[in-house]
């Protein structure tokens, strides 16, 4: 009988379907023969649960009474739906993708009735000092910082094994009493099959970009830390490189329009916003190099920026900062350049790559190779299986 695994996430379906983490884990497990269910928050449904199957993975989407970004694991109605659904299920292992109340309380109630190994993932520094300081308005921080921190930390020792997206979170888990030998570093994985490697000029006409431009790419899904650095660095690089253009996709900060209005060479900045998946893939391939601001902030100590997985898959080099997981990655793998978090340093790195197409191509080839090997989900599944084996051993030992 195949192993039955539940991946329990507070995220909405569209986020779960990103190949970087939850669905990437699910596909890796399914490919190895497991029977995988993802329990997540519906994108918009408020009253009814919905079930479906995609690529051999079962999706169960529960309703939530909140709206938009607030549909993130805090709703009691969502928690109740998860609890009632879980009462009729049995799994050989549960992997919680973080510990928001709508996830952890139904999970623990289920495990009291039907014990099985529990793995808990830690994929962001959510609470005090982390993303709540960067990505939320002041009123939200005042009202919810203590609650967010409580749920981020309180339940870590319930896990039989822990997966962490960043080694900074591993140290934090150890500080909370989680045994070090039960912690497994599991970065986001790449899905290179979704992004073909094509010459940068292939799709540029579709986005109003000159075929012979030097295009700097930047994308953001949720987190926009360092956006001002991107604009300031591009402005300096553009002054020296008349062929330089900046292509922005995805989420931009609320003050982006004002920042762009004050940016020199703004006529060479192309802000697409969120685009459909096919257009997003084509837009990514227009870049010659990607900027990934990753400055020295507590939130970045607990992050692996998901966008880097798409950048690597395009086969383009990256310019980022010597901090956290990005410093470790770029010191281990020749996939780009590290630059201090000043506009002049980042602009110098961009200029270096603009003037050296052979080096740019070599770094890009290695980036794609990394996406196809070490950071592919088939490769990362070995770590996943090691974490699950650890959880099973510890669960047996605790009886």
- Region 86-105 average pLDDT: 96
Choice between 337 and 133, residue whose per-residue pLDDT is larger: 337
At residue 110, the 3 state secondary structure works out as helix
Choice between 129 and 312, residue whose per-residue pLDDT is larger: 312
Burial of 199 (0-12, 13-18, 19+ CB in 10 A): exposed
Tell me what percent of the residues of the chain surpass a pLDDT of 90. Answer: 75
Is residue 260's pLDDT more than 70? yes
Pair type for strands 4-12 and 289-292:
unpaired
Mean pLDDT across the chain, nearest whole number?
A: 92
- Region 281-302 average pLDDT: 92
Choice between 25 and 69, residue whose per-residue pLDDT is larger: 25
Domain 192-372 is found in CATH 3.40.50.2000: yes
Is residue 179's pLDDT more than 70? yes
Q: Which helix (H) or strand (E) holds 193?
A: none
Residue 3 binned pLDDT confidence (cut-offs 50, 70, 90): very high
- Give the Cα separation of 296 and 284 in Å (integer): 26
Write out pLDDT tens, residues 329-387.
Answer: 999 999 999 999 999 999 999 999 999 999 999 999 999 999 999 999 999 999 999 99
Domain 4-189+376-397 is found in CATH 3.40.50.2000: yes
Residue 253 binned pLDDT confidence (cut-offs 50, 70, 90): low
φ, ψ at 5 (rounded to 5°): -120, 130
Is residue 154's pLDDT more than 70? yes
Alpha-carbon separation of residue 186 from 21, 325, 338, 373, 374 (angstroms): 9, 12, 23, 14, 11
Distance from CA of residue 333 to its chain's centroid?
20
- pLDDT at position 144 is 78
- pLDDT at position 129 is 67
Is residue 135's pLDDT more than 70? no
Which residues neighbour 249 within 8 Å (Cβ) at sequence distance 6 or greater? 217, 218, 219, 272, 273, 274, 275, 280, 283, 284
Q: What angle do CA 326, 329, 330 make, to 5 degrees?
A: 85
Is residue 22's pLDDT more than 90? yes
In the chain, CATH 3.40.50.2000 covers 4-189+376-397, 192-372
Is residue 275's pLDDT more than 90? no
- pLDDT at position 132 is 61
- pLDDT at position 223 is 60
Write out pLDDT tens, residues 201-249.
Answer: 999 999 999 999 999 999 877 666 788 899 999 999 999 999 999 999 8
- pLDDT at position 222 is 66
- Give the Cα separation of 325 and 171 in Å (integer): 13
Is residue 314's pLDDT more than 90? yes
- pLDDT at position 19 is 77
Residue 299 binned pLDDT confidence (cut-offs 50, 70, 90): confident
Write out pLDDT tens, residues 55-72.
Answer: 899 999 999 999 988 898
């Amino acid at each position: 009988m195949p192993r039955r695994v539940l991946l329990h996430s507070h995220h909405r379906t569209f986020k779960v379907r990103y190949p970087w983490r939850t669905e990437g884990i699910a596909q890796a497990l399914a490919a190895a023969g497991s029977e995988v269910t993802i329990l997540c928050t519906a994108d918009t449904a408020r009253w009814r649960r919905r079930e479906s199957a995609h690529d051999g993975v079962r999706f169960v989407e529960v309703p939530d009474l909140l709206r938009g970004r607030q549909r993130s694991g805090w709703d009691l109605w969502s928690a109740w739906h998860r609890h009632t659904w879980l009462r009729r299920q049995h799994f050989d292992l549960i992997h919680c993708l973080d510990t928001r109340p709508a996830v952890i309380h139904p999970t623990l109630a289920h495990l009291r009735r039907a014990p099985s190994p529990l793995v808990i993932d830690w994929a962001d520094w959510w609470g005090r000092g982390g993303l709540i300081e960067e990505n939320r308005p002041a009123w939200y921080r005042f009202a919810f910082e203590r609650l967010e921190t409580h749920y981020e930390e309180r339940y870590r020792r319930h896990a039989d094994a822990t997966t962490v997206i960043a080694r900074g979170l591993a140290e934090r888990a150890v500080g909370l009493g989680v045994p070090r030998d039960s912690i497994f570093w599991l970065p986001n994985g790449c899905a290179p099959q979704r992004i073909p490697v094509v010459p940068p000029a292939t799709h540029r006409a579709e986005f109003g970009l000159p075929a012979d431009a030097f295009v700097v790419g930047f994308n953001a899904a949720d987190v926009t830390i360092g956006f001002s650095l991107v604009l300031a660095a591009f402005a300096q690089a553009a002054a020296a490189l008349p062929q330089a253009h900046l292509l922005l996709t995805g989420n931009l900060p609320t003050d982006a329009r004002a920042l762009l209005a004050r940016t020199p060479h703004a006529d060479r900045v192309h802000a697409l916003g969120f685009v459909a998946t096919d257009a997003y893939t084509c837009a990514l391939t227009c870049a010659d190099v990607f900027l990934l601001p990753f400055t020295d902030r507590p939130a970045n100590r607990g992050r692996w920026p998901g966008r880097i997985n798409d950048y690597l898959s395009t086969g383009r080099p990256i310019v980022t900062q010597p901090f956290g997981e990005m410093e470790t990655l770029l010191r281990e793998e020749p996939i780009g350049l590290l630059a201090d978090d000043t506009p002049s340093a980042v602009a110098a790195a961009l200029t270096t790559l603009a003037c050296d197409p052979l080096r740019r191509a070599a770094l890009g080839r290695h980036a794609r190779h990394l996406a196809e090997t070490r950071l592919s989900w088939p490769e990362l599944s070995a770590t996943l299986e090691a974490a699950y084996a650890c959880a099973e051993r510890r669960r047996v030992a605790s009886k």
